[in-house]
Structures are given as C-alpha cells and as structure tokens.
Amino acid sequence: METPRIVGILLMGILVWCCMATSANADTKMIYKDSNQPYNVRIKDLIGRMTLEEKIGQMIQIERNVSSPEVMRKYFIGSLLSGGGSEPTPQASPKDWIDMVNEFQKGSLSSRLGIPMIYGIDAVHGHNNVYKATIFPHNIGLGATRDPELVNRIGVVTALEVRATGIHYVFAPCIAVCRDPRWGRCYESYSEDPKIVQDMTEIIPGLQGQIPSSYPKGVPFVGGMESVAACAKHYIGDGGTTKGINENNTVIDNKGLLSIHMPGYVSSIRKGVATVMISYSSLNGVKMHANYEMVTNFLKKNLRFKGFVISDWEGIDRITSPPHANYTYSIEASVNAGLDMIMLPYNYTEFIDGLTYLVKNNFVPMSRIDDAVKRILLVKFTMGLFENPLADEKFVEQLGCEAHRELAREAVRKSLVLLKNGKSADAPLLPLPKKASNILVAGSHADNLGYQCGGWTIKWMGFSGNNLTTGTTILTAIKNTVEPTTKVVYNENPDAEFVKSGGFSYAIVVVGEHPYAETKGDNLNLTIPEPGPSTITNVCGTVKCVVVVVSGRPVVIQPYVASIEALVAAWLPGSEGQGVADVLFGDFGFTGKLSFTWFKTVDQLPMHVGDPHYDPLFPLGFGLTTQPAKAQ
C-alpha cells in the first residue's frame, strides 16, 4: 500500500514548489518600478538590489564624447553631460539632440536594473550650447533688471528649450556673489549684493516648477516634463577669491561667509533646488572639493539639503597640485567630504577602480556610497525619469520660437543701465530721434552677434561673428528702428576725418570686451581692448555720440566720460539686440540699475558699499531713467 505515501510526497513537492514560486515572484516584483510607491520605498528597494559596481556607476558623470550606449550599460553610468561646445553635430537640430540622448538612455535602460541616466548641460543664459536657441542676457544684466518675476519667466522658457532637445538637467543658476570684477566669471553673477542674488534665485522655480507650499524643506522638487533639474553653483565663495583670481582662495570670516555668500543657497534650497555644484576655489585655504565641514556638516546637515552634490569639471583632480597628482587621494577626499556625483568627465575606469579599492579597504564607508546613491536616485525619481526616460519631440518647436525671443528682448530692455544722458540734465541726448538725415554707427560690437552674446555661447569661450547662431545684432536693430528715410552709415572703426566729413546728426558707438569664460576672463586691468578706445575718441570728439558698452562687468571708462554725450551699460545682451534699439530710440524707457559698483580705477578694487574708500564712478544701484518718447 505505497499509494498514500506517494501521494503525500507529491503533495509535499507541489507545496514546496508553490512556496518557491511565490518567493521568486516576490523577488522579481521590482517595487522601485512602481510609481504608486513613495520615493523612499522605491529607493530602499532599488538600492537593496544594487551591487557596489552599480552604485559607483550612479556616482559618475562623463562627457558624451567618451561614451556610447554600451559604455552606459556596461559601467552603469549615472549621468552624461555636454561640455561647452559639445554637440551631436555642428548646428545640430533639436531632433539630432533628442536622438543622441535617447540612444545613450537606451544603453542605460538595457543594464541589469534599467536605471535611467540624467543628462546635464550648461544652460546659463538660455540653452546657450544649441544652434538657434534663444540667448538671454547673462546674469549680470539680469541683476540690473531687479526683476525676479522676469527671471522666473526666463527659467520657464529655458527649461522648455532644454526639454526641446531631450535634456533633463541644467548646470544653472550660478548664484555666485562676485566681489571683484577682475574675476573672469563675474558676468555669471547677478550682483555683488547678496540680497539681489538671493532675489534672483526665483529662476529656480522657473526651471524646476513652482514648489508646493507644503513641500518638505530641503527635498528636491522637479514638477513635470516641462521642467528640468537645476543646479545652484558654485558652493561656496567662488566670487570672493583674492583679486578675483579664478579657482583661487577666498579668505573670509564666518560672519562674512554667512552674510555674503550663503544667502543664495539658503533660498535655493528653500525653493527645492535639485543639485548643488561645488566650487573649484578654496575657503580659507581648504579646497571646497575636499571640505567636509562645509559640504556634509553645513550644506547637508545644517541646511538640510537632500538633493545631490556634484563636482565641477575635473574638480576632484584639482584637489592636488598639480592636478591628478594623487588621484586615489582625490577620490577619497572628495567622496568622504560629501560629494555624491563626480563630473569626471573622462577617466571613468580609473575612478571606478580607485573608488572600488577605497570602499573594499574601508577608506570610504559603504554608508557614504549609499548616501550618495540615495540622493541621486531621489532626484531621478522626483523628475519622473523612471516613468518617462525617453524624450519625444513634443517640445521641438519651442526652441528659439518668437515668443521666447520676445521675452529675451524684454530682458535686454530692462537690463540696460543709463549712466550719462547729455552734457547736462536739462539737455538729454536720449531718446534718440528716429528721423534724421544721416547717422553713424561705429564700433567692433555693433554688428557682431558673438560679441554681444559673450562666453558660454555655442562654444565654451563664445565666438566672433554672425554665423554660428541666429539673432539680431545691434546694428540690424538700429536699421529696423529708424525711419526709412534715415540713412544709417556703418563704419567699424572710422578715423576722425571720416567722422568730420560725414555730416552726421549723431553717432552710436558700440564697443566692449571680447568673449571669454572662466580663467581666461581673469583681467587685472579691465580696459576696453583696442580699437574700442580709439573709436570712442575719433567719433565722440567730433559728433554727438552715445556709447554702448558691451561687457561682462564694469570696465575702465572714466577717461572717456567727458567726451561722451550719453553712456549705456548693455552688459552681454544675448541674441536679441533689438531690445537695445527699443530703448535707445524711446519705444521704452531706461529702468535698469547697476548691480555692481562701477569703479574709477582698478586700483580701488575690491570696493563695496560701506568701505571707507568707497568712491566709485557710479555707485551700486545707480541708473538714470527716461520715459518712452512720444510718436516721432
């Protein structure tokens, strides 16, 4: 009678099989892919499944030109970026960008756990790397508008144009407080005044979406497919280095640090900024990329920032001098200081090997790795990347569209600062008459789109000429504005005899700095390069003239002021030069106010309101106003 025994064995086998199947099914149910689950539950589930190799991969950001879908899959790369001028093809279309980003993303999605990557780009004055994008005034000009609501709208538009190319993440805004205009990044700063910089963090809810009032403090917020993750940079003290030397040392006491350089970060975190980028510079001799006290203890613990902290480009290499001299130490120091994602951007296998060694030998605790990965995953979940990893083409028509250019034109108008208007207050030159027999336009910057956009435009260092993107030069804008009967004569650098013989009713001279970025912009003399001064002298010594200065900061102008009838600071206005003509000719009035002190001589620098030696050519907050002209 073996039958009952056999049946019992079979039943027992079936029961065991069912239990195993149920267990396997539970194991394969990937909770992290369930959008109905809270973020913390999804993160806990996902991180519990990840190997050390997969975790380290999430902490890596590399340049697109050293990557491929296979690299993304094999090394579990967490993020890609385009550096300045890095594009799929010259003059790439939005579709070209989308196709490229999606190909990389498909590589990430084909990895074991299918964790999507996040793609970053420097969209610091519009989507400035991309052909035909709207280029807004650089931050120094936006600071002169004193208009946070305008800056918010610029954030909204920038996010749409970035999404038009399939990109999710922007390395903006720069909330540096530039305390010395000799610094080559001063145009990336809204102001030397921390209150103005703090006000302008209103660009963050423009980029990321408006944070709900009940949202928990310090938690990153990105509201939907029309928004992008933002990055407050460069933490901290980047604008306070000695003599404005880029990547140098900021010497400051705690009170000064908290009152000058910190307020912008407090506001940014309150507004849900997703990421914070660390500064190349040192704080009282300690490299910020290795500063545990400021990154972990202050930013993460004191300010309760819950997003991820990212390095700057090769920032950890520069912990040592010379850079990369002891890369294992640089990895250890930066990760233990609290950096979560490392913008390598090239040597990813060296970084993987180095960090793996450090973790396995207990130089970097696994808890630090887990903290970094949790923060990165939180941003990705918040953005909806797991639900919508691939971009479509629904926003492509947004890039450089007319409505966006009109907004940029408005920003230009509001950013212009009128520094002088006529030999006396009762004899103003501006607004200029649209109807005149013959007017002269001169200067190296009058018909040069690259010059008026400045650095970080199409290429890292910017460009010269009118061929690399689209927009309206100031010369074209003038021609568009004057009466058809008004003859506009353009001579880039006329001699005095030409001006005398021309019979001009008045002249507009547009001169300024050539494009630059970062360290190449450091400048100890701040003079306008030739032939700018010669053009001012030749023209303004002969005919009534308005000088428009196109620059990324206050420059030496005092020697010429007496001969100039009217003087306008136009900063780096971007692609929409029509905004300059709008105000010169009185369709709109001048309203801009200096967000930086305009010095007399560089020997006075650094110089700020309240200093005993404060004796500027034009003080912080200065700006003459005009009313719109009546129909002429």
DSSP designation for 169: E
Point out the catalytic residue in the list 192, 193, 410, 518.
518
In the predicted model, residues of the chain with pLDDT beneath 70 are: 1-28, 631-632
CATH 3.20.20.300 fits 28-386, yes or no: yes
Identify whether 518 is a catalytic site residue: yes
Amino acid at 546: V
Domain boundaries, the chain: 28-386, 404-604
Place of tokens 């212009």: 416
Shortest CA distance to 463 belongs to which of 510, 517, 412, 416?
517
- pLDDT at residue number 424: 85
CB 76 within 8 A of CB 66: no
Instruction: Specify burial of residue 319 (Cβ count, 10 A radius: 0-12, 13-18, 19+).
Output: buried
Neighbours of 251 (CB within 10 A): 14
pLDDT tens-digit map of 287-335:
999 999 999 999 999 999 999 999 999 999 999 999 999 999 999 999 9
Amino acid at 318: R
Alpha helices by DSSP H, 229-273: 254-256, 263-270
- pLDDT at residue number 629: 87
Tokens for 577, please give them.
């030069």
Point out the catalytic residue in the list 312, 314, 340, 582.
312
Cis peptide before 606 (omega within 30 of 0): yes
CB 186 within 8 A of CB 178: yes
pLDDT tens-digit map of 146-160:
999 999 999 999 999
Instruction: Specify burial of residue 279 (Cβ count, 10 A radius: 0-12, 13-18, 19+).
Output: buried
- pLDDT at residue number 508: 98
Architecture, CATH, for domain 404-604: 3-Layer(aba) Sandwich (3.40)
pLDDT tens-digit map of 507-548:
999 999 999 999 999 999 999 999 999 999 999 999 999 999
Which value, to the nearest 10 degrees, does the dihedral of the CA atoms of residues 472, 475, 480, 482 take? 150
Alpha helices by DSSP H, 307-401: 327-337, 348-360, 366-383
Q: What SS3 state is found at 27? A: helix
Shortest CA distance to 471 belongs to which of 570, 413, 398, 402?
402
Distance, CA of 158 to CA of 167 (rounded, Å): 11
Tokens for 447, please give them.
């018909």
Identify whether 312 is a catalytic site residue: yes
Tokens for 263, please give them.
């307020």
Tokens for 52, please give them.
């050390």
CB 487 within 8 A of CB 480: no
